[in-house]
Structure 1
Amino acid sequence: MKKRDLFIIVYCIIIVLSVMYATQPLQPLLAKEFDISITKASQFTAIIMLFLAISPIIYGYILEKVNAKKMLINSSIILFITNIFLGLSSSYEFFLFFRTVEALVVPAILTSLMSILANIDKENIKFNMSIYVASTVFGGLVGRIFSGFIATNFSYQFVFYSLSLAILVSIYFISKLSYEGEATIVKPKINDVTEILKDKRFSTVYILMFCVFFVFAGVLNILPFRVKEISSDVSEFQISLLYLGYGMGILVSLNSRKIIKFFKNEINTVLFALVLFLFITIFLVIKNILILFLLIFLFCLGMFTVHSVSTGLANSMKASQKSLTSGMYLTFYYLGGAFGSYIPSIVYEKFGWNAVIYMFCIILIISMLLLIRRKKLFTHL
């Protein structure tokens, strides 16, 4: 694989993930700007997560095979236009409409990029996939910090205009890609899906990831409002710095093999990470912003350890239908993220931050008990 191609793919992933998460630190500002509730502001992130969850099904039925490069360019052009319109939007309805259009094309771009990365260098698929995961994490980190910095020093509109400029650069880069193959999209058959779900190992991993990402997305989505609640003087840039802990995902995804080796096997690793994740979640009731900042590092360490090990598990339990099992994993993962970005904001609005944290702890304890109960199913891996 040419280094230039790898650079282009990584750049595109970072930009798309930046677009996805750019609204998160801005949510209190957008809520004030459009005079909307916390719940409505949370939809700006939740809508993209929802489409990432259901897109494998939709795209699987519309497109069985499509030229990956062509889909990448066309989808990126739409993303370029929608970001300009997000900056121009003066009402909640317009902003949500353009965000929904983005939600339709983001999965198409990520599917194409993943397909190119998997097919352009088939000998190094595992390494390429770890690069894909690390790039998505880095993109999510850059997008949040960059949007907070620009919104504080210029205006929130400039966040979207500058992202459009970055997308324009990515369109130029994509045209230089040497890959001309097709992106194969899985067409899920109901029988195959039910067969996989009947396997308790798969259903355990899927439920676990739904719950873990529900909690993770919920905390990160309400965090800007919580910080503003503690201190109204906090700027958007200071809010975005709280997401620096997200960078732990890069370290974890590139060192997951060493972590598993240390804990002897995958299930022990997941259980330890779950305990850490739960323990840190309990302490998020603390009202000190600096302590919250430090806790988020450990919080992200727990979540990304569960995620990277579970991804490997979902891909190693069945020799055939790998694309379907990993596609279903992503569906459950992003469904957890979509619901987690929305439902906790309703609880937060009605009952406050502590009630949300207690709800998260109950969800994590239930998923941990489920994993402990079914632990023996994974002994033959």
Structure 2
Amino acid sequence: MKRFDLFIIVYCIIIVLSVMYATQPLQPLLAREFNVSITKASQFTAIIMLFLAISPIIYGYLLEKVNAKKMLINSSIVLFVTNIFLGLSTNYEWFLLFRTIEALVVPAILTSLMSILASIDKENVKFNMSIYVAATVFGGLVGRIFSGFIATNFSYQYVFYSLSLAILISIYFVNKLSYEGEATIVKPKISDVLSILKDKRFSTIYLLMFCVFFVFAGVLNVLPFRVKDISSQTSEFQISLLYLGYGMGILVSLNSKKIIKYFRNEINTILIGLIFFLFITIFLTVPNIITMFMLLFLFCLGMFTVHTVSTGLANSMKSSQKSLTSGMYLTFYYLGGAMGSYIPSIIYEKFGWNVVIYMFCAILFMIMLLIVKRRRIF
């Protein structure tokens, strides 16, 4: 693979993930700006997660094969336009409409990028996929910090205008990609899906990731409102710095082999990561922003350990139908994220932060018991 091609793909991934998560630190500001509830403001992130969960099914039935580069360019143009309109939106309904259009094209862009990355260098697929994971984590981190910085020092509208400029640069670069192949999109058959779900190993891993990402997305989505409750003087940039712990995902994804070797096998690593994740979640009830900042590094370390090892495990359990098993993994993962970005905000509004954290701990404890009970089947 040409280094320049790899650079283009990584740049595009970072920009798309920045678009996805740019609204998260701004949610209290957007709720105030559009005069809406916490729950309604949470939909700006939840909507994209929901479409990432259902897109493998939708695109699988609409498109069997599609030119990956063409899909990437056309979807990026839509993303460029919608970000300009997000900056121009003056009410909640318009803002949510353009965010929903973005939710339709983000999965198409990520599918194209993944296909190109997997096809362009067939010798190093595993290494390229770890680069893909690291780039998505870095994009999520950059998007949040960048949006908080711009909203605090300029205005939230400039967050979306500058993202449009970054997308425009990515469209220019994509045109220079040497790849001209097709992206194969899996058309899931109900019988195949059911037979995979009947395998307890798969259903356990899928349920695990649904629960873990539900908790992770829930904490990160309600976090800006919690910080504003602790100190209303906190700026959007200060809120965005709380997401620095997200960078732990890059370290974990690039060192997953060493971590598994240290804990002897995948299922041990998942269990220890899960116990650690649960233990840190309990302490998020401490009403101190500095303590939260430090805890979030450990919180992200626990989540990304479980996620990275589970992804590898899910992909290695079945030699055939790899694209279907990994597609189903992503569906459960993002479905957990979509529900986690929405449901906890309703509970937070009615009962407060501590009740949300206790609910998360109960979910993690139950899934931990299930893993302990089923560990022998792996």
TM-score range, shorter chain: over 0.9
Q: Distance in 1 between matches of 2:290 and 2:273?
A: 23
Task: Please report how far the alpha carbon of residue 55 of structure 1 lies from its aligned counterpart in structure 2 after TM superposition.
Answer: 0.1
Does structure 1 residue 335 correspond to structure 2 residue 332? no
SS at match of 2:285: coil
Structure 2 CA distance, aligned partners of 1:133 and 1:349? 33
CA shift digits 1:331-359 (9 cap, x unpaired): 00000000000000000000000000000
Rounded to whole Å, the distance in 1 between the matches of 2:212 and 2:257 is 21
Asked whether 1:188 is paired with 2:188, we answer: yes
3-state SS in 2 of match to 1:77: helix
1:99-118 alignment runs, 5 A limit: 99-118=99-118
> 1:32 aligns to what?
32
- Structure 1 CA distance, aligned partners of 2:44 and 2:172? 28
How far has the Cα of 1:126 moved from its partner? Answer: 0.2
Query: 1:194 deviation in Å?
Result: 0.1
Q: What is the match of residue 350 of structure 1?
A: 350
After superposition, what is the alpha-carbon deviation per residue over 1:120-179, rounded to whole angstroms, capped at 9, x for unaligned?
Answer: 000000000000000000000000000000000000000000000000000000000000
Question: After superposition, what is the alpha-carbon deviation per residue over 1:31-85, rounded to whole angstroms, capped at 9, x for unaligned?
Answer: 0000000000000000000000000000000000000000000000000000000
Quote the residue 2:5 is aligned against.
5
Q: How does 1:71-86 map to 2 (within 5 A)?
A: 71-86=71-86
Structure 1: runs of 5+ lacking an equivalent: none
RMSD: 0.2
Measure how far apart 1:96 and its partner are.
0.1
Q: 1:321: which partner in 2?
A: 321
Local SS of the residue matching 1:284: helix
Structure 2: distance between partners of 1:220 and 1:369:
25
CA distance in 1: counterparts of 2:271 and 2:297, whole angstroms: 18
SS at match of 1:224: helix
1:258 and 2:258 aligned: yes
Spell out structure 1 runs of 4+ moving beyond 3 A: none
Specify the SS of the correspondent of 1:66. strand
Name the residue aligned to 1:310.
310
Q: Which amino acid aligns with 1:14?
A: I
Q: Does 1:218 align with 2:218?
A: yes
Matched, 1:121 2:121: yes
Give the letter for the 2:75 counterpart: S
In structure 2, the residue corresponding to 1:318 is in which secondary structure? coil
Deviation at 1:254, TM superposition (A): 0.3
Give me the identity figure in percent.
Answer: 84
Q: Equivalent residue of 1:193, what SS?
A: helix
Alignment of 1:1-381 (within 5 A): 1-378=1-378
Question: Could you tell me how far 1:313 is from its partner in structure 2?
Answer: 0.6
- Rounded to whole Å, the distance in 1 between the matches of 2:271 and 2:118 is 30
Matched residues in 2 for 1:375 and 1:4: separation? 43
Distance 1:9 1:273 in 2: 30
Q: Which runs of 5+ in 2 are unaligned?
A: none
Question: d(CA) in 2 for partners of 1:186 and 1:135?
Answer: 24
Measured in 1, the distance between the counterparts of 2:206 and 2:59 equals: 21
CA distance in 2: counterparts of 1:185 and 1:249, whole angstroms = 27
Q: What residue identity is the alignment partner of 2:243?
A: Y
Q: Deviations over 1:276-300 (max 9, x none)?
A: 1000000000011000000000000
Mapped to 1, the partners of 2:367 and 2:111 lie a distance apart of 29
SS in 1 for 2:183: strand
Q: CA deviation at 1:325?
A: 0.2
Q: In the aligned structure 1, how far is the partner of 2:188 from the partner of 2:373?
A: 30
Q: Which amino acid aligns with 1:224?
A: P
| Secondary structure of the corresponding residue to residue 374 of structure 1 | helix
Q: Distance in 2 between matches of 1:224 and 1:286?
A: 15
CA distance in 2, matches of 1:347, 1:301: 26
Amino acid corresponding to residue 83 of structure 2 in structure 1: N
Report the 3-state secondary structure (helix = DSSP H, G, I; strand = E; otherwise coil) of the residue aligned with 1:205.
helix
CA distance in 1 between partners of 2:268 and 2:149 (Å): 40
What amino acid does structure 1 have at the position aligned with 2:360? F
Q: Which amino acid aligns with 2:151?
A: A
TM-score, structure 1 length as denominator?
0.99
